[in-house]
Amino acid sequence: MSNVFIVGGSGKVARHLARQLSTRGHTARSLHRDARQADELKALGAVPVSGDLLQLDIAGLAQLMTGSDVVVFSAGAGGKGGAQMTNAIDGDGLELAVAAARTAGIRRFILVSAFPEAGRGKVVSDTFENYMAVKKRADVHLAETDLDWVILRPGTLLDTPGTGNVRAGLAIPYGGVPREDVAATLLEIIENPEVNRIIIELTEGDTPVAQVVQRLAHS
């Protein structure tokens, strides 16, 4: 069973992941910054860990992570606070979490990133363009480490119920994907450490999540 530290633990994908981890007997330790979220996270079966990415330094975050087997980074400013906050959370926050994982001796690191084609064919705002640039910078940073990393690039996140079926691969057409299925994919990746040092694009589809991840383990 794995002990999984989730950065951005109060987020929507992260809450699905915490519940699914707990159902399969793993421990989710969910970093959150609002004390009111602790009981909600406990109700999902997670262990709430209080901390704010904007306040923590490498040593402080490493201390919170210590004892975990895997870090999942699913934090994001979500467009709030403009480019500055996106840079601070999606960019610098990821670099902080990577450094903290290394300090804590945790080798496995899974990043929830973004699908590169998200803005293709649309007139996008400067904020969105910056968001995509920061997500790419985060991917580059993680991929250049010697950690056992996986970068998952979901398409547009949907709140519709998960289907248990997805499309995933090294390069697939752009689309949407329920957050619940993103979490299910993360869970399968966590349970299959042979899926390693790979960038995976993810949308809705018609192949069972477990089958898709097994295929990626041998790609």
Ligand X SMILES: NC(=O)c1ccc[n+]([C@@H]2O[C@H](COP(=O)([O-])OP(=O)(O)OC[C@H]3O[C@@H](n4cnc5c(N)ncnc54)[C@H](OP(=O)(O)O)[C@@H]3O)[C@@H](O)[C@H]2O)c1
∠ CA 7-111-161, nearest 5°, is 80
Residue nearest to ligand X as judged by C-beta position: 11
Which range, of 3-11, 101-109, 166-174, 185-193, touches ligand X by CB under 6 A? 3-11
Letter string b/e over residues 98-118, b meaning 16 or more CB atoms within 10 A of that residue's CB: bbbbbebebbbbbbbbbbbeb
Nearest to 71 by CA among 82, 62, 84: 62
Shortest approach of ligand X to residue 208 CB, angstroms? 22
Q: What share of the chain is helix, strand, coil (3-state, %, to 5)?
A: 40, 25, 35
Cβ proximity to ligand X: between 132 and 194 the closer is 132
Cβ proximity to ligand X: between 39 and 146 the closer is 39
Which range, of 64-72, 73-81, 161-169, 190-198, touches ligand X by CB under 6 A? 73-81
The beta-carbon contacts of 172-176 under 8 Å, at least 24 apart in sequence, are 172/201, 172/202, 172/203, 173/203, 174/115, 174/117, 174/118, 174/120, 174/203, 175/203, 175/204, 176/203, 176/204
Query: Is 74 an interacting residue with respect to ligand X (CB under 6 A)?
Result: yes
Query: Is 168 an interacting residue with respect to ligand X (CB under 6 A)?
Result: no
Which listed residue (77, 106, 186, 195) binds ligand X by CB under 6 A? 77
Which range, of 18-26, 69-77, 163-171, 185-193, touches ligand X by CB under 6 A? 69-77
Query: Is 57 an interacting residue with respect to ligand X (CB under 6 A)?
Result: no
Which listed residue (114, 168, 190, 195) binds ligand X by CB under 6 A? 114
Which range, of 11-19, 142-150, 192-200, 207-215, touches ligand X by CB under 6 A? 11-19
Question: Would you say how long the chain is, in residues?
Answer: 219
Query: Is 34 an interacting residue with respect to ligand X (CB under 6 A)?
Result: yes
- SS3 of residue 29 by DSSP: strand
Residues in contact with ligand X by the rule CB under 6 A: 8, 10-14, 31, 33-34, 52-54, 74-78, 89-90, 112, 114, 154, 156-157
